[in-house]
């Protein structure tokens, strides 16, 4: 009795579960024609070889680092979330299988901080000028970027799409058209949802890209994912329409009311109390801890002149505060740059270069790395589903 070819380690029959598959009639006709022309080859052998080839390719694909292009990268908060391999408040956030191959920002000090931490030099140039000069962005699997948000922010002048900066998302569109990634993630402030039909216009512009993308958006609260900050941000997600795979927002791990089994929100006290200098001296062993605004208190009626709450997540860390960064809950001084980094969920080995005012802008503009990590985990799941479907 012919037992057929020896089983490969990657053979479907060696995976522990019985599998059923079907061969389309047109493929079966080609298979029979091939075997008629090659009588030494049995149908079962041809099918087994094809399945083994597929499994090898599938296994290789699942282990491949997915290439990421990052725009408006700032100091690298979103990039760190996608790269992973960092620790924060005793928790480890591993690499979810991504590699950032291109980063860009116009802010000099942010690029300096980015290169210092990632050992990767970002392009320090206006992205429009970079593209207009004929430069090519490398092919990638994912495009991420937090296009400038001040013109959509409630705290800003809310010029929205009427300003040149408000139209910078169109440069992200150009990059997506150039690289044709499987998925892209664009981040912006919650105010984008309150500025007339700005969000719909942006989503429609992204939807006009060829090849077509399915566009959705999600409003995420950073505190719901273990970030000690009540920061809400809009994430616009585009997935290739030809993939037929859906993207789902990350499931919250924390909650203000933890009665449903989730962990309670992380408080300001849990995030920064070990940094407080009870003896009056600054703990200079932590990067950026000695940098803080000396601006006097202009009265609690003005933004940024109140102490943060000790037993509650910190407020949104702002980039543009002109020295009026919130006071520590002990009310002795304003928050240091390191305390802002902690509230933004950056690891302690992340250093911001430049003056205190430049450092405040960098941390305020950043996407919380822990929140970005949860998004990257969902993006990886998207690719895993796509690979299984294939």
Q: Taking the complete model, does pTM exceed 0.75, yes or no?
A: yes
Q: Within 13 Å of residue 129, how many CA atoms lie on the same side as its CB?
A: 7
Domain hosting 212: range is: 67-260+368-389
Q: Could you tell me the CATH number of the domain that includes residue 378?
A: 3.40.50.150
Per-residue pLDDT, 156: 46
Q: Is residue 124 part of a domain?
A: yes
Token readout for 240 is 């290739």
Using only C-alpha atoms, the chain has a radius of gyration, in whole angstroms, of 25
Per-residue pLDDT, 179: 98
Per-residue pLDDT, 300: 83
Which helix (H) or strand (E) covers residue 87, if one does? strand 86-88
CA angle 346, 350, 355 (to 5 degrees): 105
Looking up tokens 């895993």 gives 384
369-389 and 43-63 are packed helices; what angle lies between their axes, rounded to 10 degrees? 170
Catalytic residue among 75, 111, 140, 149: 149
- DSSP codes joined into one string, 155-192: TS---GGGSTGGGTHHHHHHHHHHH--SEEEEEEEGGG
Per-residue pLDDT, 158: 44
Q: Is residue 26 part of a domain?
A: no
Q: Is residue 120 part of a domain?
A: yes
356-365 and 108-118 are packed helices; what angle lies between their axes, rounded to 10 degrees? 70
Q: Give 260's DSSP letter.
A: G
Q: Is residue 184 part of a domain?
A: yes
Pairing between β-strand 232-240 and β-strand 213-221 as defined by DSSP bridges: antiparallel
Q: Is residue 9 part of a domain?
A: no
Tell me the per-residue pLDDT of 21-37, one tens digit each, with 9 for 90 and over: 677 787 788 888 888 88
Q: Is residue 165 part of a domain?
A: yes
Per-residue pLDDT, 109: 98
Please give the Cα distance from 151 to 160 (Å, whole number): 5
Please give the Cα distance from 286 to 266 (Å, whole number): 21
Establish whether 149 is a catalytic residue: yes
Which helix (H) or strand (E) covers residue 303, if one does? none
pLDDT along the chain (390 residues), means of 10: 51 53 76 82 76 55 86 98 98 97 98 97 97 97 88 50 69 97 96 89 96 97 98 98 94 91 97 85 85 91 93 96 93 94 98 97 98 98 88
Please count the structural domains in the chain: 1
Please give the Cα distance from 113 to 298 (Å, whole number): 31
Q: Is residue 34 part of a domain?
A: no
Q: Is residue 128 part of a domain?
A: yes
Write down the number of H helices and E strands in the chain: 11, 11
């Amino acid at each position: 009795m012919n037992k057929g070819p020896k089983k490969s380690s990657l053979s479907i029959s060696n995976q522990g579960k019985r599998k059923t598959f079907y061969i389309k009639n047109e493929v079966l006709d080609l298979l029979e024609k091939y075997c008629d022309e090659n009588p030494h080859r049995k149908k079962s052998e041809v099918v087994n070889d094809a399945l083994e080839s597929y499994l090898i390719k599938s296994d290789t694909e699942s282990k491949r680092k997915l290439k990421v292009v990052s725009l408006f990268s700032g100091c690298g908060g979103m990039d760190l979330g996608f790269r992973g391999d960092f620790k924060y408040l005793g928790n480890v956030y591993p690499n979810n299988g991504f590699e950032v191959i291109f980063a860009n920002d116009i802010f000099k000090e942010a690029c300096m901080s980015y290169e210092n931490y990632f050992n990767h030099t970002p392009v320090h140039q206006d992205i429009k000028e970079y593209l207009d000069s004929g430069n090519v962005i490398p092919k990638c699997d994912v495009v991420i970027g937090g296009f400038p948000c001040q013109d959509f922010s409630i705290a800003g002048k809310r010029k929205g799409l009427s300003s040149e900066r408000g139209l910078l998302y169109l440069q992200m569109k150009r990059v997506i058209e150039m690289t044709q990634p499987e998925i892209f993630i664009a981040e912006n402030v919650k105010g984008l949802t309150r500025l007339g039909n700005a969000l719909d216009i942006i989503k429609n512009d992204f939807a006009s890209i060829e090849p077509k993308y399915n566009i959705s958006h999600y409003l995420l609260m950073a505190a719901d994912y273990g970030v000690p900050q009540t920061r809400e941000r809009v994430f616009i997600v585009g997935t290739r329409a030809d993939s037929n795979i859906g993207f789902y927002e990350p499931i919250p791990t924390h909650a203000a009311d933890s009665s449903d089994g989730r962990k309670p929100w992380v408080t300001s006290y849990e995030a920064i109390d070990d940094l407080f200098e009870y003896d009056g001296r600054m703990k200079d062993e932590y990067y950026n801890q000695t940098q803080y605004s000396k601006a006097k208190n202009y009265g609690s009626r003005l933004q940024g002149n109140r102490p943060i709450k000790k037993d509650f997540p910190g407020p949104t860390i702002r980039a543009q505060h002109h020295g009026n960064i919130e006071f520590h809950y002990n009310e002795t001084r304003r928050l240091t740059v390191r305390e802002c980094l902690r509230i933004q969920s950056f690891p302690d080995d992340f250093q911001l270069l430049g003056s205190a005012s430049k450092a405040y802008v960098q941390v305020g503009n950043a996407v919380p790395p822990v929140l970005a990590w949860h998004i990257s985990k969902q993006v990886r799941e998207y690719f895993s589903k796509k690979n299984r479907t294939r």
